[in-house]
Structure 1
Amino acid sequence: MVTVEDCRAALDRLAGNLAAAGAGVRDAAALDRSLSCHLTDLDVRFEGRLAAGALADVVPRPGPPGHRAQIRLTMTGEDLVALVDGRLDFVRAWGSGRVRLEAGFRDLMRLRRLL
């Protein structure tokens, strides 16, 4: 079982991957949107911003999201770590319901290039 610290480390790796990504990925992520990731098994959420192609100001908070972020992810901590480590395919996880992604239509169209 993963811990909140494992999930925080995975999000830090994701932020590093975004920062080191090529221009196409950075352009796709060049939104300025609030972001939340609720980890159902740990009953914690991480909130932050996706801005200028980077993941910033990510902080853990207890429980489900208290406000509606513009981009919302819901999954288990195990799935978050597996996604970031490349052991879980996002499209398959999303299609099977293991991962939920909610965002506006325009944001979804831009984010699909990251997948």
Structure 2
Amino acid sequence: MASVEECRAALVKLVAQFDEIDAADRARHVVERTVSCRVSDLGVTFYGRLHHDGLDPFVEDPPANGKQPDVRLTIGSDDLVALVEGELDLARALLGGRVKIDASFGDLLRLRRLL
């Protein structure tokens, strides 16, 4: 099981990977959304925001407005690290039940194009 620090580092790397996506692609596929990433085996949830300029750094404090995030990801700590490192395919992880994404169908299609 990966630690909270390893998960935090993986999310920092994910933010950096989103920064590398071509600005035109982001403009075409990104709609501003709030995001949560619940690491199921550690009992911790990280919160961020996806927008045209990229992905804001994840924090452990929920949004002050109290609203549910638009996109909710649930994943185990080892799978989060493996996914960000490119060792785990998102589609296979979804089909295998290792990752759960709760989002609108449109958001799922947009995210698929970016990941």
TM-score range, shorter chain: 0.7 to 0.9
For residues 5-62 of structure 1, what are the alpha-carbon distances to aligned partners after superposition, in whole Å with 9 as ceiling and x for unaligned?
1111101101101101224642365221110000011000001111114111421259
Count how many residue pairs are aligned between Structure 1 and Structure 2: 112
Identity of aligned residues (%): 46
Query: With structure 2 as the length reference, what TM-score do the two structures score?
Result: 0.86
Greater share of residues in strand: 1
Deviates more, 1:44-53 or 1:26-35: 26-35
Secondary structure class of the residue paired with 1:111: helix
Pair 1:46-2:35 in alignment: no
Indicate the residue corresponding to 1:114 in structure 2. Answer: 114
Indicate the residue corresponding to 2:95 in structure 1. Answer: 95
Amino acid at match of 1:84: V
Runs of 4+ with >3 A deviation: none
- The equivalences for 1:16-95 within 5 A come to 16-23=16-23, 25-27=25-27, 30-61=30-61, 67-95=67-95
Deviates more, 1:16-25 or 1:83-92: 16-25
**RMSD between superposed Cα atoms in Å:** 2.0
What CA distance in whole angstroms lies between the structure 1 residues aligned with 2:28 and 2:3? Answer: 30
What CA distance in whole angstroms lies between the structure 1 residues aligned with 2:10 and 2:29? Answer: 18
Secondary structure class of the residue paired with 2:98: coil
CA contact (8 A) 2:23 2:53 kept: no
